[in-house]
Amino acid sequence: MKKILIAVIMLTLLIGCTNTKVASKDSPENKPATNEKEVEIKEETKEIVINDNDDNDKEQKEKNIDLENKIKSPLTGLYIDKEKLNDRPIVVMLDNYYKARPQAGLSKADVVYEVLAEGNITRYMAVIYTSKPKSIGPIRSSRPYFIDKALEYDPLYVHVGGSEQAKKDIKNFKMADIDGLSSGGDIFWRKNHKPIPNNMYSSYEAIMKQAKRRKYNKTGNFETLQFNEEDMDIDGEELTEIKIPYRGKKYTSGFKYNKEDGLYYRYVNNKPHLDEISKSHIIAKNILVQYVADRVIDNVGRLEMNLVGEGKGLYITNGKMMDVKWKKTSRRALTRFYDLKGNEIKLNPGITWYQIVPDDLNIITK
């Protein structure tokens, strides 16, 4: 009996030990479970620390500080100091005869148009809105199709004379006209380093002085194309170089793409196109080629350019080129550009060059 009692006691102890071992392995309150919970706490703590890390906030604050007192230019999509944005755009006609080159102030323009004039020589129309050039020129005369583009900006329109039709248009559209033929020597002046008529110059300060004298509105009322918030690639074929041989091949306009900064550098007859004053290489972020129908309308060789209506074009940016369509509903209306699906395109932030070319001109692309 005594032996049986001892055996029962030993068996009970053995069962108890076995149950304890099972409990220590499988119980929700065992050590491994506690370790898992501790791991979760550590992960949560780690996540909190990451969220509490002020690097991102600091970076955002720095961005906010950078944008403080800045405004996005409607003509470039770039953020600039508020005081650098002029009250009203000025649009200046610039000579491109070989004796007039290089031009002053062209590198300061936010938008530039190049269009043929008589004699198969092109002329520039510079839109200046975020700079105040101390020297602008040589300044030349106006033509009706330049007015079609100038009206899109409701600008102070700066030129030296013009065709009879251009002068009528300026008056009929009540443009804020600043003409070198009716302004004093403190507004326009000739420089001796170039021959007449390729040597007429002015400055931003002088132009604003004349605008004040004539009591023109300080601000303009105009629409602009849309810009991406950040630099974006387009869906198109690669393009690292473009050459535009205008009629007569007296002059070839070109751009070469620099992959390092994402900009196109401009060339004239295969030579770098430099600003006369700053000596800086003229660049573009966006290039818009607009094909238009043209014809000679008089014995002097003056042209008519059909800029109202619609047609084909090219949009070039970031080393790529895509086909687009353009549309302009009236002489005052903004020229808009669309992809082949009918969506209005957005430009990348930066300077835009418009190359207005005859619809039968063969452009060389690489």
pLDDT tens-digit readout, 21-77: 333 334 334 444 434 333 333 333 333 333 334 444 444 444 454 788 899 999 999
Q: What is the mean pLDDT of the chain?
A: 86
- What CA–CA distance (Å, rounded) separates 74 from 361? 31
Three-state SS for 288-340 is EEEEECEEECCCCCCEEECCCEEEEEEEEECCEEEEEEEEECCCCCCCEEECC
Of the listed ranges 4-8, 84-88, 268-272, 302-306, the one predicted with least confidence:
4-8
Contact predicate 99/93, CB 8 Å: no
Q: What is the mean pLDDT of residues 87-92?
A: 97
- Higher pLDDT pick, 116 / 39: 116
Q: Is the pLDDT of residue 292 over 70?
A: yes
Question: What pLDDT does 115 receive?
Answer: 97
What pTM was computed for the model?
Answer: 0.82
CA-based max dimension of the chain = 141
What are the Cα distances from residue 163, in Å, to 118, 242, 247, 331? 11, 32, 21, 17
Question: What pLDDT does 48 receive?
Answer: 33
Confidence of residue 250 (pLDDT cuts 50, 70, 90): confident
Question: What pLDDT does 248 receive?
Answer: 60
Q: Is the pLDDT of residue 337 over 90?
A: yes
Q: What is the mean pLDDT of residues 260-266?
A: 98
Question: What pLDDT does 5 receive?
Answer: 43
Q: Say how many residues make up the chain.
A: 366
Burial tier of 118 (Cβ tally within 10 Å: 0-12, 13-18, 19+):
middle
